[in-house]
Amino acid sequence: MKVVSLPGDPGVGPRLASYLGLEHTSLFSKRFPDGEIYVRLLQKIENDEVLLVQSMYPEQNDRLVELLLALELFNRYGNKVSLLVTYLAYARQDKEFLGGEPVSLKSIIKAMVAQGVETLVTIDAHNPYAIKEFLSNIKYVNLLPEEVFAKALSERYRGKEMTVVAPDQGATDRALSLAKHLGSGYVVIQKVRDRVTGQVKHVLDPLSKVSGLAVIVDDIISTGGTIAGIASCLSSRGVEVVVAASHALLVGEALEKLGKSGVREIYALPTVSRVLDGVIYLDIVPYIARELKNEGVIL
């Protein structure tokens, strides 16, 4: 098997290849003057097994086009394609919330599969159950790397009591997994979003059960609003707060917003091609390598 980095690979591909003793190459890409995207494989790979690595942030739409173009190429050259998407964009529109909306996640997944993906691997996808539902004949693995966060937190806060906080019901699996690895308790907050205005309300009562350090766990930090609302409430009660979120998009003033809400540290994974000062990025390559082997994606 060969590992091929697509232009959005946040550096996982080369490290993963060297960790696993596999050959690695990158796809050449450029943009035409009119904005169209061009990719080219400079060495021929045909009738082989490949693991393509791509992140879809930033910028989602360009990264999606690169991915679709690459899949057409590798498929037509007779390769067996496994795809590792470190950050899957459009994952939150996983159903028709308001009449007239597309199920964007379904559209993205179907487009990938139609271009010949045999195995799809995601890292902490927003809703892996929905993805599974949209896939029929291909293998799907969602890696939930809470043990990576647990290891870092246990080392940093050795002996300190912690409570994991899920900011909404969708984060329950993450909270359960992180709490299990930390040996701590957890609480789940109810989140209600007005689908027209986008405004979010939280039912914060469970926060009274938080003791010790609060670890807010989520898949994505976008504007930071979800986490900041909960962190402000916890810090106003004198609780110390840290965040463990897989995908730190941190758009606009998100980092400042989180700082003002009392978040002490942000732990994230290097799943997107954007690195910000003030975020602690954890190494996930050994974890991914082990899991790809366990799942039989890499033999």
Question: In angstroms, rounded to a whole number, what is the distance separating the alpha carbons of residues 112 and 139?
Answer: 13
Residues between 48 and 107 that touch ligand R5P (CB under 6 A) = 92
CB of 288: closest distance to ligand R5P in angstroms?
A: 21
Residue 221 binds ligand R5P (CB under 6 A): yes
Residue 191 a catalytic site member: yes
Binds ligand R5P by CB under 6 A, chosen from 8, 13, 128, 167: 167
C-beta closer to ligand R5P: residue 14 or 170: 170
Residues 6+ apart with CB under 8 A from 291: 141, 143
Taking CB under 6 A as the rule, does residue 265 contact ligand R5P? Answer: no
The reply on whether position 223 binds ligand R5P by CB under 6 A is yes
Terminal Cα-to-Cα distance of the chain (whole angstroms):
9
Least Å distance, CB 131 to ligand R5P, is 14
Alpha-carbon span 72 to 214, nearest angstrom: 46
User: Between 7 and 229, whose beta carbon lies closer to ligand R5P?
Assistant: 229
- Indicate the residue among 69 and 241 with the shorter CB distance to ligand R5P: 241
Do 202 and 229 touch, CB atoms closer than 8 A?
yes
Find the part of the chain contacting ligand R5P (CB under 6 A) among 53-61, 96-104, 212-220, 291-299.
Answer: 212-220
Binds ligand R5P (CB under 6 A): choice among 9, 94, 124, 219: 219
Q: Is 218 in the site for ligand R5P (CB under 6 A)?
A: yes
Residue 174 near residue 187, CB atoms below 8 Å: no
Give the burial class of 40: count Cβ atoms within 10 A of its Cβ; 0-12 exposed, 13-18 middle, 19 or more buried: exposed
Structure tokens at 279: 């975020």
The verdict on whether omega for the bond into residue 155 sits within 30 degrees of 0, i.e. cis, is no
Q: Of these, 121, 189, 220, 285, which contacts ligand R5P (CB under 6 A)?
A: 220
Q: Which of 225, 232, 235, 281 binds ligand R5P (CB under 6 A)?
A: 225
> Is 222 a binder of ligand R5P (CB under 6 A)?
yes
What's the token pair of residue 72? 């057409």
Q: Which stretch binds ligand R5P (CB under 6 A): 73-81, 214-222, 234-242, 265-273?
A: 214-222
212 binds ligand R5P (CB under 6 A): no
Catalytic residue among 30, 95, 160, 191: 191
| CB-nearer residue toward ligand R5P: 39 or 91 | 91
Nearer to ligand R5P, 66 or 124 (CB): 124
Region binding ligand R5P by CB under 6 A among candidate stretches 40-48, 109-117, 155-163, 220-228:
220-228
Nearer to ligand R5P (CB atom), residue 151 or residue 202: 202
Contacts with ligand R5P by CB under 6 A lie at 92, 126, 167-168, 170, 218-226
> Which residues are catalytically annotated?
191
